[in-house]
């Protein structure tokens, strides 16, 4: 019988950092430093990925703006490589500010653009983020109705009452809200009656190989039915194959998003100014 190594527990009891903990901490510090430098040198961009109609995948319903960091060599760093390290720090709020500011500028430049921008529930109480939002909405009367704010399930559940009040306040400006990565967190179903989500984006873990996975089919159908019941526009994420497209169409999704329809790009065809800036 192989006994578990008691060393990590002993380290914790003694107040000592384990080798793994030190490595993780060092990696987080390096990531924070990279992001801090990118913010200070204004090397943040939005990459745009289309969300298409399920009934006509050639028709784009809206674009999602995904924040990217450019490292000193110009290499593009996706959010998944740094957001976990910065999310709970003020630097995470600065990232949200940058994404919002870039997105609102794009909405002002491109009058027929509809754009979703990711945010953390923590940013609701961040004064600069709220100031940017209010100022951006005041630029033109149509910006609010073309803006979608995406909040992940796990983020929304950190401060549900605050999120509900925030959403209620912005409804008058026409802003829509998307519940991102539904099914991946700990959303209490009872809150659906109080939230003002217009769009439900099903987490990609349920979509991959759904045509061959009976469990994913059952789970997806159940989660989809919740969205339909609460009259939310439903989006399947991480769609990569035609086989997935066909079954998702049959299941009744409103929209789809994924590499099947285009990777996120810093040079979107709808915005030549953004293309020149990222060159």
Question: pLDDT, tens digit, for every residue of 125-152?
Answer: 999 999 999 999 999 999 999 999 999 9
> Does the pLDDT at position 7 exceed 70?
no
The structural domain count of the chain equals 1
pLDDT digits (tens, 9 = 90+) for 89-120: 899 999 999 999 999 999 999 999 999 999 99
188 lies in some domain: yes
3-state secondary structure of 95: helix
DSSP category for residue 240: -
Length of the chain (residues) = 279
The span from the CA of 166 to the CA of 125, in Å, is: 10
Kindly state the tokens that stand for 208: 């991959």
Give the pLDDT mean for 70-98. 90
CA of residue 271 relative to chain centroid, distance: 21
CA dist 279 and 273 (Å) reads 10
In a domain, residue 35? The reply is no
Cβ 270 vs Cβ 110: under 8 Å: yes
In the predicted structure, residue 189 carries a pLDDT above the cut 90: no
Lowest mean pLDDT among 13-17, 49-53, 86-90, 220-224: 13-17
Any domain includes 272: yes
Please give the angle made by the CA atoms of 78, 84 and 85, to the nearest 5 degrees. Answer: 100
Residue 134 has, within 13 A of its CA and on its CB side, a CA count of: 9
Among 84, 147, 141, 82, residue whose Cα is nearest residue 118: 147
Angular region, 167: left φ>0, alpha ψ -120 to 50, beta rest: alpha
pTM here is 0.87
Residue 59 lies in a domain: yes
Residue 13: inside a domain: no
With respect to residue 225, please indicate whether it lies within any of the assigned structural domains.
Answer: yes
In-domain check, residue 71: yes
Q: What band does 12 get if pLDDT is binned at 50, 70 and 90?
A: very low
For the segment 12-20, the average pLDDT, to the nearest whole number, is 45
Number of CB atoms found within 10 A of residue 208's CB: 17
Mean pLDDT over the full length of the chain: 88
> Across the strands, what pairs with 233?
199
Q: Which domain holds residue 209?
A: 44-278
Whose tokens are 């984006």? That residue is 201
Q: Report helix, strand or coil for 66.
A: strand
Q: What is the C-alpha to C-alpha distance for residues 279 and 265, in angstroms, rounded to an integer?
A: 12
Question: Can you give the CATH number for the domain in which 264 is found?
Answer: 3.20.20.450
Q: Has residue 21 got a pLDDT over 70? A: no
Residue 84's pLDDT is 86
14 within some domain: no
């Amino acid at each position: 019988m192989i006994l578990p190594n008691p060393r990590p527990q002993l380290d914790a009891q003694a107040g000592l950092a384990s080798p793994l903990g030190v490595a993780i901490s060092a990696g987080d510090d390096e990531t924070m430093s990279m992001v801090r430098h990118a913010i200070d040198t204004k090397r943040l961009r939005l990459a745009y990925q289309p969300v298409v109609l399920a009934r006509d995948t050639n028709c784009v319903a809206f674009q999602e703006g995904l924040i990217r960091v450019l490292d000193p060599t110009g290499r593009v760093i996706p959010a998944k490589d740094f957001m976990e390290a910065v999310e709970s720090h003020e630097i995470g709020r600065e990232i949200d500010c940058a994404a919002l500011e870039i997105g609102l500028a794009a909405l002002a430049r491109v009058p027929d653009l509809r754009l979703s921008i990711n945010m953390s529930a923590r940013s609701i109480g961040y004064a600069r983020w709220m100031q940017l939002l209010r100022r951006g909405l005041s630029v033109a009367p149509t910006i609010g109705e073309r803006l979608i704010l995406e909040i992940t399930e796990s983020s929304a559940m950190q401060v549900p009452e605050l999120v509900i009040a925030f959403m209620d306040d912005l409804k008058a400006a026409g802003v829509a809200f998307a519940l991102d990565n539904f099914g991946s967190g700990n959303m209490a179903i009872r809150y659906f009656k109080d939230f003002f989500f217009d769009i439900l984006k099903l987490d990609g873990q349920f979509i991959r190989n759904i045509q061959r996975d009976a469990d994913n089919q059952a789970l997806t159908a159940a989660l989809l039915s919740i969205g339909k019941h609460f009259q939310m526009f439903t989006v399947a994420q991480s769609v990569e194959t035609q086989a997935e497209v066909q079954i998702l169409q049959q299941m009744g999704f409103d929209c789809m998003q994924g590499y099947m329809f285009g990777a996120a790009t810093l040079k979107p065809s709808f915005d030549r100014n953004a293309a020149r800036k990222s060159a």
